[in-house]
Structure 1
Amino acid sequence: MRVINITEKEFKKISHYIQANYGIQLKKEKQTLVTGRLYHVLTSNNFRNFTEYYDYLVSDPTGDAAGTLIEKITTNHTFFMREADHFHYFRDQVLPVLVETAKDKDLRIWSAGCSSGEEPYTLAMILDEFLGKEKKWWDTKILATDISNRVLDQAVKGEYPNEHLTSLPVHWRNNYFKKLNGEKSVLVDRIRNEVIYRKFNLMENVFPFKRKFHVIFCRNVMIYFNDETKLDLAGKFYHWTEPGGYLFVGHAESLNRDLCRYKYIIPAVYRKE
């Protein structure tokens, strides 16, 4: 097996490209990880070193090279009911307020960095159960975005290994999933159809939305960003949040309360007043 090592200069160029385009900060200790994850890309394209690969990356007009890079570098780890207290707060504290205040029975929720769909589908199940028979009068479609085509393809299918569903309430598993076989289950159409999946890079200068959101979930995404990038993204989220709306971030994340315009509510939950 051919060994291709990355020099410090090459790592700096690639990590700068990733941060400039995707916001992800790769510290020096990630140098070995980058080498390992990109090794197959280099060998399959017959690049002799990372400089040749970088030149190919920045000159590729199709964007395919950049797409492959982000698939290799990003970590898409999630599961049903991750940080479950957020979902309980959404159900018990946020939804009762929004149901009373939302105009035209239109609830707009965005799952940013949705990965393989567990988060937006959980929100869809909560909405279905909370609204009950009234749901037919509501527009509760959830926008779910991610930068990875691979996880978006998985999410659209709505198929999950049965052992991944054990954290869900039994009645949810019975009502919202159909067994495909002994190993996998698929979400029923009325839940799958509640989520609209789109590829989107949170580093875009302009967010292409027409209306603001009542709730934004962006959990365990900003953990990979530096403080400046986090603050800039929080500012964009704030602009696209309805007054009285909420932002949920991951428990390992926090926003600078002195610089951020959101009001801190509880750990990892913020509100636009």
Structure 2
Amino acid sequence: MDDEQFVLWQSLLEDRTGMQLSSERKTFLETSLTMRMREIGTASYQEYYQRLMTGLAGEVEWLTLVDRITVQETCFFRHHSSYELVKKYCSDLITTAKEKQHIDIWSVGCSTGEEPYSLAMLLDNMLTENAAPHYFGITATDISLPALHKGRQAIYGARKLLLLDPELKARYFKKVDQNQYQVVPELRERVCFAQVNVRELDKAPMSDMDIIYCQNLLIYFRRWRQREIVSRLVERLAPGGMLVLGVGEVIEFEHPLVQRVQYENTLAFMRK
């Protein structure tokens, strides 16, 4: 792939998804494209590009390619400190807002479901331990339809569960074969998966969220678009709601509607 072709593919990805592919990831792009081209029998980058531009078949193929490029390796409870902050926030919310009976959470860039199910396990376990009569619901969104399908299936290999607390594993997973486990129905029904492109958050119906959890997503965008996305998410928070981001993903973000949450090794903002 020459530099001119790389710029063409960079522009296509950014125009359609908002994601910026740096020059350091040129090899990654070449590998992803080559593997897919080999699968469908396409001979050149230009031929594949034209295929993506052509009709309904091109639109379907684009979804497959986006899945290859954007879906990253993830795991349950990936950033411990952030989940501890969520637990503390929800505990305080239950204690101070006696009249509030429902907790609404949005997992942005949920990939194959590990993040929203981690949040669901945390909430369900905490509410059960405290005998709190609250209900919670989690909306999990991603741009990748194949990733969302995997999230709805909620079936994970044994390797994914290696670092999971044994009590949580026993309570929230059922073994389906020698090397795979599925999230129990009671927890799956608390998570609703939907396709959302973060470039089009103005079209997303979510509002008045108590928690918005968005990690390991913003690193793929230019700084100005990062701020645009975070500002859109802030607008979707309920008063007193909390936005949790990945540490270091956004530098010196300020917004008149939020203030920084002081909690060790986390990056979070609370709506005023």
**TM-score > 0.5 by shorter chain:** yes
Matched letter for residue 137 of structure 2: K
Q: Does 1:268 align with 2:267?
A: yes
1:3 is matched with which residue?
Answer: none
Size of the aligned set, in residue pairs, is 267
Distance in 1 separating the partners of 2:78 and 2:125: 19
Q: Any idea what the Cα deviations from partners look like across 1:46-99, whole Å, max 9, x if unmatched? A: 54432332233233345213212211211421101111111111112x102322
Q: 1:180 aligns with which of 138, 163, 176?
A: 176
Distance in 2 separating the partners of 1:249 and 1:260: 17
2:44 is matched with which residue?
Answer: 49
Distance in 2 separating the partners of 1:86 and 1:189: 26
Q: Is contact 1:234–1:260 with CA below 8 Å preserved after alignment?
A: no
Q: Which piece of structure 1 moves more, 128-137 or 249-258?
A: 128-137
Q: Is contact 2:71–2:147 with CA below 8 Å preserved after alignment?
A: no
Q: Does 1:31 align with 2:26?
A: yes
Distance in 2 separating the partners of 1:61 and 1:102: 51
Q: Is contact 2:213–2:244 with CA below 8 Å preserved after alignment?
A: yes
2:83 is matched with which residue?
Answer: 87
Q: Which piece of structure 1 moves more, 167-176 or 109-118?
A: 167-176
Distance in 2 separating the partners of 1:46 and 1:102: 61
Q: Any idea what the Cα deviations from partners look like across 1:4-61, whole Å, max 9, x if unmatched? A: xx22112111111111221211112222221211114334555443233223323334
Distance in 1 separating the partners of 2:162 and 2:43: 47
Q: Does 1:157 align with 2:158?
A: no
Distance in 2 separating the partners of 1:123 and 1:68: 27
Distance in 1 separating the partners of 2:17 and 2:108: 14
Q: Which piece of structure 1 moves more, 108-117 or 162-171?
A: 162-171
Matched letter for residue 269 of structure 2: Y
Q: Is contact 2:196–2:204 with CA below 8 Å preserved after alignment?
A: no
Distance in 2 separating the partners of 1:139 and 1:81: 21
Distance in 1 separating the partners of 2:41 and 2:163: 45
Distance in 1 separating the partners of 2:175 and 2:56: 43
Identity of aligned residues (%): 25
What is the CA RMSD across the aligned residues, in angstroms?
A: 2.3
Q: Is contact 1:245–1:271 with CA below 8 Å preserved after alignment?
A: yes
2:54 is matched with which residue?
Answer: 59
1:142 is matched with which residue?
Answer: 138
Distance in 2 separating the partners of 1:126 and 1:88: 9
Gaps of 5+ in 2: none
**TM value normalised by structure 2:** 0.88
